[in-house]
Amino acid sequence: MLHTRKNLSISALIVGIMILAMVSCKKGPGSGLSKSCIIPAPVSVSLTGDFFRFSPKTDIFVIGESVELKQVAGYLAEKLRPATGFPLAVKQVDNTVNPGHIYLALSGSSANPSNEGYELVISRKNVQLTAKTAEGLFRGVQTIRQLLPAKIELSEVQEGPWKIPAGTITDQPEYPYRGVMLDVSRHFFNVNDVKRYIDLISYYKMNAMHLHLSDDQGWRIEIKSWPELTIHGGSTQVGGGTGGFYTQEQYSEIVKYAKERWITIIPEIDMPGHTNAALASYAELNCDGKARNLYTGTNVGFSTLCAKKKVTYKFVDDVIRELAGLTPGPYFHIGGDESHATKHEDYVLFVEKVQDIVKSYGKTVIGWDEIATTKLAAGSVAQYWDRANNALLAVGQDAKVLFSPAKKAYLDMQYDSTTKYGLHWAAYIEVDDAYNWNPAVLVPGIGKDKILGVEAPLWSETVTNMDEIEYMVFPRLPGIAEIGWTPADKRDWNEYRERLARHGERFAAMGIDFYPSKLVPWINK
Ligand code: NGO
């Protein structure tokens, strides 16, 4: 009896909390994370219960002269114009703040120490977004977008009112690197697909996109000094389609598009294994001097560059030189995973040499966790996907670790046994599994100070188009983004799922074909 009553009161409490969270998602008053629907959850939110209302007269003012500042303001205006139908002119002012408008300012004295941090003060009178850098403002702009009703994301004019809750948000990321990886080798995705993916991740304040540009099935980036790589090596894909590749101009277009959203592109050339496309394009890269056939299956671990040949390093040097020259970001990813066809001594020789080449072109190495079995160059980063022991070897060499544990962060893993696309060799990953982990405690011995951040890879053996990409990515991606941005002690699955539920409307408005997990109480309007 006592037992039942206790259960009842616990249920009542849970229902109460859920209702409060749902109601307060839409309107204040109050403070605390459950009172806002922002993903990733900001570090601190306090709401006053009041609102700022947009009107046809609302303009976006920038305080200061920086070009980047105007760029961010222009981006915000572009995002808000279609649905509101308001002109939202971008103008410059000195220091005067008038009612009815949005103000963006760079402030060296901003209370926020991080480059990506920002402060958003919203009152009945106006909206003031301040940050130390334009990058911080750009992250804050995503918060403004998410505070507006979901229909703000539609491309046709909608009925208002357009109002956002008043209060103060102070925010900054937990980890400096928060990203995704897209495998464009197993299946090729065109420039527009990549741009759309960039837009989607920027909405969740991610700042890195790693492109897996080469693998056994296809070489996807034009290298002018080795043209057969794309002409022949890029001509097919898994299942035998026509494949494709980015010209250097197209790659630069992606880099520029990403840069305008403060997203770093990290190019990966996977080596010495996963190189069949290159080995098919140039016979001399094989130890036996014989070109391999193109490969359209999905096996791994059968190909290797010839670590003992001189021409191999000429090849690697040319590829890294050309690609590093097109890449303004600090990182170059050398792959290094599953080199089962490479003798270990050759693997060590190869990875150590290639790290030097990357360094000579001014870039920092990232490699899959296996590279930690070699001597890491100062600054090299190991990307933990499979073996905790390798991640520990990296930390033992004073290297940082990027967290992409396959059992939690692989977006190509199926949600459950009924998922149409994807694999499940590592795990089935439901939305709660993708959210419910903390990089700083996942591997004993690797604390936050050793972690560069989190990245969610999407391997494309089984996904062939943007719809399928979106189905695997959403709704798990916002959770990974929150792991990277929000301090662990401010994250809680039961509260998060309520916030995520409200993002269903946003996914729909953005035309995202997402997996409607039963674990999330979706609110579809
Ligand atoms: C592994 C493998 C990839 C596969 C992927 C599929 C890594 C780093 N290497 O992850 O070649 O595509 O699994 O989930």
Q: What is the pLDDT of residue 307?
A: 98
Whether residue 254 is predicted with pLDDT greater than 50 in this model: the reply is yes
Phi, psi of 47, rounded to the nearest 5 degrees: -105, 145
Residue 260 confidence class, pLDDT cut points 50, 70, 90:
very high
381-396 mean pLDDT: 98
Q: What is the pLDDT of residue 499?
A: 96
204 touches ligand 1 (CB under 6 Å):
no
337 touches ligand 1 (CB under 6 Å):
yes
226 touches ligand 1 (CB under 6 Å):
no
Query: What is d(CA 205, CA 79) in angstroms, rounded to the nearest whole number?
Result: 15
What is the identity of the amino acid at 421? Y
Mean pLDDT of the chain: 93
Other beta carbons within 10 angstroms of residue 317's beta carbon come to 18
Ligand 1 atom having least distance to the Cα of 298: 12
Q: Which of 338, 370, 430, 498 is catalytic?
A: 338
Other beta carbons within 10 angstroms of residue 186's beta carbon come to 23
DSSP E strand stretches across 44-96 = 44-53, 60-63, 90-93
pLDDT tens-place string over residues 178-195: 999 999 999 999 999 999
State in Å: Cα 402 to ligand 1 middle. 16
Q: What is the pLDDT of residue 96?
A: 85
Whether residue 167 is predicted with pLDDT greater than 60 in this model: the reply is yes
Q: Specify the 3-state DSSP secondary structure of 159.
A: coil
Whether residue 6 is predicted with pLDDT greater than 50 in this model: the reply is no
- Cα-based angle 454, 354, 221 (whole degrees, multiple of 5): 70
68-76 mean pLDDT: 97
Residue 112 confidence class, pLDDT cut points 50, 70, 90:
low
410 touches ligand 1 (CB under 6 Å):
yes
Q: Specify the 3-state DSSP secondary structure of 218.
A: strand
SS (H, E, C) 26-43: HCCCEECHHHCCCCCCCC
Q: List all residues 6 or more positions away from 203 whose beta carbon is below 8 Å from its beta carbon.
A: 142, 145, 146, 510
Q: What is the pLDDT of residue 91?
A: 96
- Report the nearest-CA residue for atom 7 of ligand 1: 337
What is the identity of the amino acid at 456? A
Whether residue 482 is predicted with pLDDT greater than 90 in this model: the reply is yes
Q: What is the pLDDT of residue 28?
A: 36
* 352 catalytic per annotation: no
pLDDT tens-place string over residues 433-475: 999 999 999 999 999 999 999 999 999 999 999 999 999 999 9
Handedness of CA 232, 238, 244, 248 (dihedral sign): negative
pLDDT tens-place string over residues 33-59: 445 799 999 999 999 999 999 999 999
Residue 110 confidence class, pLDDT cut points 50, 70, 90:
low
What burial class does residue 379 get, using C-beta atoms within 10 Å of its C-beta: 0-12 exposed, 13-18 middle, 19+ buried? middle
